[in-house]
Amino acid sequence: MKSTVRYILSCAAAGLIGWNAASGQGTPAPLAFGGIIDPQANVIRDDSGSLVRFYERLFRVKEAGSDSGVVASVLHIGDSHVQGGFLTGRLMKRFHGDFGNAGRGLIVPLRIAKTNEPYDYVIRSASAWNSARCLQRSPRIPMGLGGISIQSCAPQFSLHVGANPRDKELYAFSRVRVLHHPKAPRLEVVSPADTGMRLRPAYVDGNNPYVTTVELGREVTAVDLEGRTRQSGDSAVYYGFVLENGKSGVLYHAVGVNGARYVHWSWIDGMGAQAEALEPDLIVFQLGLNEAFMGGFNEARFLQGVDDIVRRLKERNPRAGILLTTPAECYMRKTVNGQRTFVPNPYIGPISRAIVKYAAENGYACWDLYSVSGGKGSGAKWLQKKLFAADRVHYNATGYNLLADALYDALMKGYRRYASVRPDYATAPGTTLYRRAGVLPSGGVRLSVDALYDAMNNGYGIHGIAYGNR
């Protein structure tokens, strides 16, 4: 593996982090773990320091101020636990409350594809569309980053894109990045749907063939878009929309598909290039559940699927931190003595251990939810606390809120530890290239996040914190 930062994130065990409800509109108060999550064990395993650049980005966002435009970007990839939006929606709001709201981030046309969609955005159309999902090995429509693609059935078509009216003030936006097939016709802004006032949008194609950026010039809460195929080579295929407000903060992009496994995401051509357009500082993988319902478990085959998609995304996004998570114990239906009943899924444990091993061997971070929540037999606690949905695989809203709070708590432990000892390097004429910069030397300039990351990767150390080549 390439050289990585050596940063030992050893932090003292802590309970729930403090929360200032006034720090962000609509930010939720954290739940008590209630014996479900062990607060002592609830940490991110990251011996290789793969999340250091993400933590540094958060630090820069925190100190920059809301009008600076400094953004930390997270891409969270998963299955049905992610598609519904309860888990990731709460994570997003917690980040927004502490670090600022840079916009709703990536939204995917799930409802047009005839599946469930998170509550906090709206993508609708009166036009006819075909759709495909990443669960198909060779889909009839080219697949996109969101695991869902839609293709217009007609030469002229329209889309309405915006925030759910309940959250429209929270998620107003001034920029839309359209993710699409490289040969898709441009979507033109007709008008901001919330006011009826006409805009003068600016369209920027950039260097990424999967993305067109539309600068709206002011904040709106919804837009109407129109497209038209103009030549035989056009492919009216669209993958999603990134909604941004131009402010400093966190953009939390969540993509999930019901039934998805690691291997399904690896089937998406151009996945790495499309993810690159989001400029992720952290990529979270929350998968492994559906592999436990295949009637057996082959570790080598499973890890090949994990490695295919993780490596592909890391190659195109080399500076992004990688965080893998393990599933908590859940149940499956089984016939026992002629009766259909629920039993603990026996494959969750082996799958979780395989993910932990893979992360450690490849220098990635891991949140081992399986162990943190008690391991074998722990499903009974979720059941007793009435946190499962009826299928005892998914969770109710309270269960997802608890999961989100636990992951956020673990990430913030790592962040606080890093922020307390972070090296602040600066360059200065005629001085050592890298130095502690509580006070910058004359003519000194703070290094960018990437330059700081490179400095640490190249073996520079400070105050006993080990950075170097792995």
pLDDT tens string 33-78: 878 999 889 999 999 889 989 998 999 898 887 777 899 999 999 9
pLDDT at 7 over 70: no
Cβ neighbours, 10 Å, residue 426: 21
Tokens, residue 204: 């920027």
Is the per-residue pLDDT at 288 higher than 50?
A: yes
Vertex 165, ends 164 and 167: CA angle to 5°? 70
Average pLDDT over residues 270-295: 95
Spatial CB neighbours of 361, under 8 Å, sequence gap ≥ 6: none
**Does the pLDDT of residue 238 top 90, yes or no?**
yes
Q: pLDDT by residue (tens digit) across 378-437? A: 999 999 999 999 999 999 999 999 999 999 999 999 999 988 877 555 444 443 434 443
Per-residue pLDDT at 27 exceeds 80? no
Q: Quick one: pLDDT band at residue 469, thresholds 50, 70, 90?
A: very low
pLDDT at 113 over 90: yes
Is 453's pLDDT higher than 70?
A: no
**Residue 280 CB-half CA count within 13 A:** 31
Residue 100 or 4, more confident? 100
Q: In the block, which residue shows the tokens 């990443």?
A: 134
pLDDT over threshold 80, residue 448? no
Comparing 65 with 359, the larger pLDDT belongs to: 359
What does the pLDDT look like over 129-187, one tens digit per residue?
A: 999 999 988 888 999 999 999 999 999 999 999 988 877 677 999 999 999 999 999 99
Which residues, in sequence order, are CB contacts of 367 under 8 Å at separation 6+? Answer: 44, 45, 323, 324, 325, 326, 407, 410
Question: Pick from 360, 266, 267, 347: which is nearest to 314 by CA?
Answer: 266
| Lowest-pLDDT range of 11-25, 108-122, 378-392 | 11-25
The alpha carbons of the chain give a radius of gyration, in whole angstroms, of 23
pLDDT of residue 274: 93
The per-residue pLDDT for 430 is 40
182-194 tens-digit pLDDT: 999 999 998 765 5
pLDDT at 204: 80
| Interval 116-136: pLDDT, tens | 999 999 999 999 999 999 998
Angle at 358 between CA 357 and CA 362, to 5 degrees: 120
- Long-range pairs, 338-342, Cβ under 8 A, ≥24: 342/392
What is the enclosing helix (H) or strand (E) of 249?
strand 249-256
Q: Which domains does the chain have, with CATH numbers?
A: 1-65+279-422 (3.40.50.1110), 425-470 (no CATH)
Contacts of 78 (CB under 8 A, 6+ apart): 88, 254, 255, 256, 260, 284, 285, 286, 287
Q: How far apart are CA 372 and CA 29, in angstroms?
A: 21
- At 323-346, the pLDDT tens digits run 999 999 999 999 888 888 999 999
Any idea what DSSP says for residue 349?
H
Which of these, 395, 148, 414, lies nearest to 257 by C-alpha position?
A: 148
Q: What pTM was estimated for this model as a whole?
A: 0.87
Which pLDDT value is given to residue 28? 76
Task: Give which of 175, 168, 192, 199 is closest to 106, Cα–Cα.
Answer: 175
| pLDDT tens string 182-230 | 999 999 998 765 555 666 788 887 789 999 999 998 899 999 999 998 8
The per-residue pLDDT of the chain, averaged, comes to: 84
Identify whether the C-beta of residue 237 lies closer than 8 Å to the C-beta of residue 182.
Answer: no
